[in-house]
Amino acid sequence: MSNTKLNILLEDILNNKINSYKNGKVANYIPALSKVKPDLAAAVMIDMSGESYKVGDWNYKYTIQSISKPLVLALAIMELGEEAVFKRVGVEPTGEEFNSINKLVGHPKPFNPMINAGAIAITSLIRENKSGNSFDIILKFFEKVFGNKDVEFDEEVYKSEKMTADRNRSLAYFLKDHRIISGDVEKSLDLYFKQCSFKVDTLDIARASAILANNGFDPINGNEVIPEKVASLVRSVMLTCGMYDRSGSFAIEVGIPAKSGVSGGILAPVKNRFGISVFGPSLDNSGNSVVGMNILRKLSKELSLHMI
């Protein structure tokens, strides 16, 4: 398909799906997130030669939220190795809500790194080293995967989450009690809230997605950002656990590894083909962007992106 045809297809799909935002609701459990306009929508694709296709509100900035989870997972494996990471967190889907506490009872090792309990445990592993403090280590990694030296931080969303995070706090203290987290729990939580509050746009996330799709190499500048094996592992975890309690049906229907976040973004790498990212803040009752899921469904069909 030519570049122009792909742009037209993407534009068409976005225009067709944009009204489906009415079937969902913007997240409001973090009060600052509820201020967004529900009908924003964007899609970006980057192919493996580094060419990008951008439609809609692709440069609208939102907080990364749970899309940070696969990226910090990659970082933790790069910093500490697979064994140290998977000693604390498993790789099995839960079929439960992202912040559920149910499954931890009797099984304190979080099922996977895409749910909050697992992600908080992973974040707690990122420790100060010679290249800086834990916040700077995450920031520098995000700057690399977004190919963007000006990654900003949303103080308002960070504070809003920190003040209302009773569930995440209870997950983290439970994990500390069971020695999954060591060290200062409040410090780990603070870092987790901060990691979720970096501002990104759909192009930034598409760049990270393209790196994962291109086996860890940035298709735009050729740099190796993530080792190939880690990129493959992260894609696999996203395929089975990335779309909250819709991960199974999404994998069957769309067949693309993906991670969504409650601010409405989705990162969806298609191995050796495209880094895709979609955005629309109105969510279904599992927490996935309604417009984003619809765009991915249609793209998967039109471009035969289903991996199975």
- Which active-site residues does the annotation give? 66, 69, 192, 244, 262
Q: Among residues 99 and 124, whose Cβ is nearest to ligand GLU?
A: 99
| CA pair distance 67, 244, nearest whole angstrom | 12
Residues 186, 163, 203, 290: is their CA dihedral positive or negative?
positive
Q: Any residues with CB less than 8 A from the CB of 166 and at least 6 apart, and which?
A: none
Give the nearer residue to ligand GLU in terms of CB position, either 189 or 276.
189
Residue 66 carries which DSSP code? G
Centre a 10 Å sphere on the Cβ of residue 107 and count the other Cβ atoms it contains: 12
Shortest Å distance, C-beta 222 to ligand GLU: 31
Nearest distance in Å: CB 261, ligand GLU: 4
Closer Cβ to ligand GLU, 9 or 189, answer by number: 189
Residues in the chain: 308
Phi/psi at 12 (5° precision):
-60, -45
Binding site for ligand GLU (CB under 6 A): 65-66, 98-99, 116, 161, 168, 196, 261-262, 287
Residue whose CB is nearest to ligand GLU in the complex, by number: 66
Report in angstroms how near the CB of residue 228 gets to ligand GLU at its nearest: 27
> Which DSSP category does 25 fall into?
E
Q: Residue 70 and residue 221: Cα distance in Å, rounded?
A: 22
Cβ nearer to ligand GLU, comparing 9 with 165: 165
Shortest CB 3 distance to ligand GLU, Å: 33
Tell me 51's DSSP state.
Answer: -
CB atoms < 10 A from the CB of 149, how many?
8
CB of 91 to ligand GLU, least distance (A): 18
C-alpha distances in Å from residue 135, one per residue of 123, 187, 208: 10, 11, 19
Pairing of the two strands 259-260 and 265-270: antiparallel
Distance CA 293, CA 17 (A): 9
Nearer to ligand GLU, 270 or 283 (CB): 283
Query: Which of residues 66 and 188 has its CB atom nearest to ligand GLU in the complex?
Result: 66
Question: In the complex, what is the shortest distance from the CB of residue 98 to ligand GLU, in angstroms, rounded to a whole number?
Answer: 4
Structure tokens at 80: 């500490």
Distances (CA, A) of 125 to 10, 76, 118, 153, 188: 39, 7, 11, 21, 8
